[in-house]
Structure 1
Amino acid sequence: MPNEPAEQWRRVTLTSDGPILVEGPVEVVLDDGRIARSDRFTVALCVCRRSRVYPWCDTSHRARQRRTA
């Protein structure tokens, strides 16, 4: 629970053009209250919301080309 002391620190890695990487296992509370769990050693959380397996990243963000100025 959010207010309980953590047993162990979790490492979160922010990437400039991709998902957020979190050392697992993790429990993600979605905005509608559902809970998604993963026991993998590292999970990739989708930040673009294009993933078909949201909240997990499926690399859908790579399909879109960035514009150059």
Structure 2
Amino acid sequence: MIEGPVEVTDGDGTTHVSRRFQVAICMCRRSSTFPWCDTSHRVRRRASDETPAGEESQ
């Protein structure tokens, strides 16, 4: 978390500006608002997608 307003310049020289009072920088590059974090890294799985411990999926 960074206190704003913030200007970030990425590797290709593009400058991104946030006027918010606080902002998080995305480090995983999954954000649709990159370079700002939109919590896209919080992938949730449905219970039906998880395999209980000790059981193999067939």
Superposed counterparts of 1:1-69, under 5 Å = 21-63=1-43
Give the match's secondary structure for 2:42.
Answer: helix
Q: Which runs of 5+ in 1 are unaligned?
A: 1-20
Identity, % of aligned positions: 60
**Normalising by structure 1, what TM-score?**
0.61
Which 4+ stretches in 1 moved above 4 angstroms? Answer: none
Note the aligned Cα RMSD (angstroms).
1.4
Q: Which has the higher strand share?
A: 1
Q: Which has the larger radius of gyration?
A: 2
Q: Deviations over 1:9-59 (max 9, x none)?
A: xxxxxxxxxxxx100000000111000001110001101111111001110
**Normalising by structure 2, what TM-score?**
0.71
CA–CA distance in 2 between the matches of 1:32 and 1:64?
A: 32
CA–CA distance in 1 between the matches of 2:25 and 2:2?
A: 7
Q: State how many pairs are aligned.
A: 45
Q: Which runs of 5+ in 2 are unaligned?
A: 46-58
